[in-house]
Structure 1
Amino acid sequence: MELPQTYTDAELVKRIVAGETFLFEILIRRNNSFLYRLGRSYRYNHEDTQDLMQDTFVDAFTHLAKFEHRCSLKTWLLKIMLHNCFKKQNKWAFKNVKAKDINEQCMPMFSDDKHTDTSKTVLNNELNMIIEDALEKIPTDYRVVFTLREANGLKGAEVAEILAISEDSVKTRLSRAKRMLRQEIEKIYSKEDIYQFNLIYCDKMVNRVMDKINVIKDQN
């Protein structure tokens, strides 16, 4: 069955709550990569991250009727994922970062410079490993902000809401994260190079979550 892709998130939520459960697959596909990147930013391996994603999607489905649209659906899902990461990690601590330690004039990690050498945009497994290794050397509080802001493309206000910190703190941590990454990586890479969630894994996640949802439906 070919699923419509033109529904907004709000329309999908309304239809799913009304009983069109099969449409939840669209929400999974739209948000797979965002949840995956967040899980990996906590240094969870591929398998553990997939388990956390499954739990997150199932949690979202069971509470979808209570979603009040006070934030975007993506932000809501990332909050649930973050909560599940916290539970698995069983610890969380932010370190204070002093603004004076940040060089706000530094060059952005990701640039839109059209003159960048073509070879720098080539995607391959080795490149992905280099970036992942660099990110893993950054402390969690900076790495998570970087992943949400740069890799997942959230606005500063959305990141602040998800992590329950101020927007100034988001800016500070993001700047510090970029400086740390530049110390590890001299080349400029595109956002899409980080923590890719390939189509094959996306399909598997859809199947895993929808199987769980169907079990929940049968039990009700």
Structure 2
Amino acid sequence: MITKKQIDNNTLSDEEIVKRIVNGESYLYEHLMRKFNLRLFRISMSIINDEMEADDVMQTAYINAYMQLSNFQHKSSFSTWLTRILINESLLHKKRKLKQTQLLAAQTDNEYSNDNPLRRLMNKELKVILEKAVSTLPEKYRLVFVMREIEEMSVNETMEILNLGESNVKVRLNRAKEMLRSELSIYYKTNEVFEFNLIRCDRVVNFVMNKINKES
């Protein structure tokens, strides 16, 4: 812990403290960290939005900055230089996390598609129902729906191809969605939503009874 006997840090600029750290007074780095902790935390949170992960990123950024102190060129302020390191580390962390999430999602999808025939059947049935519902739309609404929602074409592309104004494209798309909701509601009654079928019932009962039997 830094004391007044060691140095009165308030009399020195950040850049002067950096020079002293590089020259061997490594304990002064604590002063810089305490000074910028709140700023770095807020910036990291704005990118990562997770307190624990923001803490980890800050620690990594501080270590990286310390290892690079001798390369600090003083072309910008130390606070600017440190903040850039923090932002880069936060973005890199976010990118890694997104990649991990995507890989996990892909693995989960593969597990479901490979090991769950019931889910494959349900997805196939849903696809047929959706296609049938879309086919019932009047052509002018169906065309806009397919272009915007299925082909993911922009509003401008749709306007240009169909020679429509922006408001007409939006109105037709909204109308198509309303008609689809009405059409799809025919296929599912309220009491069928989240239906607790016999297979699921047996699975739950068997699991609970097995647990009870093991405990008894």
Structure with the bigger RCO (C-alpha within 8 Å, sep 6+) is 1
Structure with greater Cα Rg: 2
Q: TM-score, structure 2 length as denominator?
A: 0.40
Q: TM-score, structure 1 length as denominator?
A: 0.40
User: Hey, which of these two has a bigger chunk of helix by percent?
Assistant: 2
